[in-house]
Amino acid sequence: MSSTVDTAILPVFVEVSTDKMQAWLKRRKLDEANPPTSQDILAAVKEAAIALTDDVKRRVEEYLGLITAEELPPDPFLLAEGTPPLDGKNEELVWDESYQAEARHWQDDAQVNYYTMNAITTVGQDAVIGTLKPLVPARDGVDVRGERVSAKGTPRSLEIGSTIRRAADGSGQIIACLPGRVVEENCKLFINEVLVITGDVSFATGNVYSTTDVNIAGSIPDRFEVKSAKSITVRTAIEAALVEAKGDINVRCGIVGRHSGRVRAGGEIVARFCSEANLAAEGNIKIGVQLMGSLVRTNGMLIGERAAIIGGYVYARNGLAVATLGSKGAVSTRVFVGVSPVALQEAARIDAQIQPTREAARKTQERFHPLTLSDNIMRRDKILEVGGANANARISVSGTIYPRTTISIGTRVVMFNEELKGPIYIEERKVKNATELVSVNALSGSITTLPSQMFSAGEILQQYEPLLDTPLPPSDSSERPPSP
């Protein structure tokens, strides 16, 4: 006849972690005169469905050994540990230290951002790019109940294109077969061939118009033009020049526009710093340390987690993520998120057209707006909707918002007269059935309603008129024909 143990009266029980990777033996009450026995512990193990492995048996013996030695075992006592799954990892490129050092300099000694570095890294012929870190196979795990825990991912090897070769000495290094920009895409590693200018753009090179990527080892001085049907990389700086690319524009150092240059990209613009620059990008604009006194327009985000935005006008359709806005000197700094200035301009034009109709309707005390008035209002609202930001657009500030910083989200505006410490983000929210601008503390989650005002499209345009002179890159071909 078999016997069972009533686990409810056992002096110990087993508690299992949420992920089932640890099991702990715990006392119900401290009774030194009647300590738990081996039978008690094994009954609790069985009740919790813990796999009775050799390791669990060893830990049970360890627990009982402490009791025998008249020592009080810790409570809880770690009884069992599972083996976590090991997710698979693709074969990876580990950049040569020289390129990692350049990336750290660009980001002012911040942690290396490999996505940004990949975008701005160009290599010379026969240069060592780096080494390949082998893929890590996926390995399933086992929980404390002996059940399998499946690993994630099916790792893949990097496919090396013909533009890259492996070192013959077996060192694992990979070497560039031609000068160009290193691209890692869909587990393929290759080099895009580029037009290389070994020094500055000058009268010796003339203006540059290219159908391929352009890599400039020096700078682009005042009044020169560089245009590419693909991407442009500048080793040092862009001065008061006209630079346009259908792809990305990457500047290792800075852009110093002196209020006369212009930089336009169909993709992203990346620079360590910008001063008195005029920037327009269809994609994100990424700044390393500082953006000062500039006109900026992006249909993506302005990203500079360590960057100070001081003065100027910034339009970022999908929001900002920066360190500071404004300065201790209270330099006027204006930031606009949401509806594009071009859409506001069209909405203001429609408002001007329908204003006489509104006045006429008011004077004649008509109960209904004329059909043309309703049509125009619907058309204006549609323009503002299409030209708006995504639902998650907000302004994230990790440091400080200084006085005389003005923030607009859509047609709602707030001006800061006092410092506001971060980390915070500013966004539009419904507060008591009304749309307001609020600041949200990123640490505590506390919400503060800001004293914002609602403006018409025309009034917003008056505040951000300089942005209307910063058009985004055209979708058609470059204004000048490419060089043969």
Residue with structure tokens 């070994």? 198
pLDDT > 90 fraction of the chain, expressed in percent and rounded:
55
pLDDT at 34: 80
Using the structure block, give the residue that is written with the tokens 């020592």: 71
Question: Cα–Cα distance between 14 and 27 in angstroms, integer?
Answer: 9
pLDDT digits (tens, 9 = 90+) for 413-426: 999 999 999 899 99
**% of residues, the chain, pLDDT over 70:** 79
pLDDT band at 387 (very low <50, low <70, confident <90, very high): low
- Reported pTM: 0.61
Least confident range from 151-165, 272-286, 371-385, 460-474: namely 371-385
Report the pLDDT value the prediction gives residue 411, as an integer from 0 to 100: 81
18 half-sphere exposure, CB direction, 13 A CA radius: 0
Which carries the bigger pLDDT value, residue 474 or residue 264?
A: 264
Report the pLDDT averaged over residues 131-150. Answer: 94
What's residue 39's pLDDT?
92
Q: 55 in helix, strand or coil?
A: helix
* Strand 180-185 relative to strand 225-228, pairing: unpaired
- The tokens for 231 are 């991407």
pLDDT at 3 over 60: no
Residue 140 pLDDT greater than 80, yes or no:
yes
Q: Say yes or no to pLDDT of 186 above 60.
A: yes
Of the listed ranges 28-32, 221-225, 322-326, the one predicted with least confidence = 28-32
pLDDT at 244 over 70: yes
SS3 (DSSP) at 389: coil
Can you spell out the DSSP letters for 223-268? T-EEEESS-EEESS-B-S-EEEESS-EEEEEEEE-TTT-EEEESS-
Sign of the CA dihedral with 204 first, then 207, 212, and 213 last:
positive
Q: Residue 429 pairs with which residues in a beta bridge?
A: 436
Q: Which residues contact residue 303 at a Cβ distance below 8 angstroms, ignoring those fewer than 6 apart?
A: 284, 285, 286, 287, 320, 321, 322
CA 189 to chain centre: 23
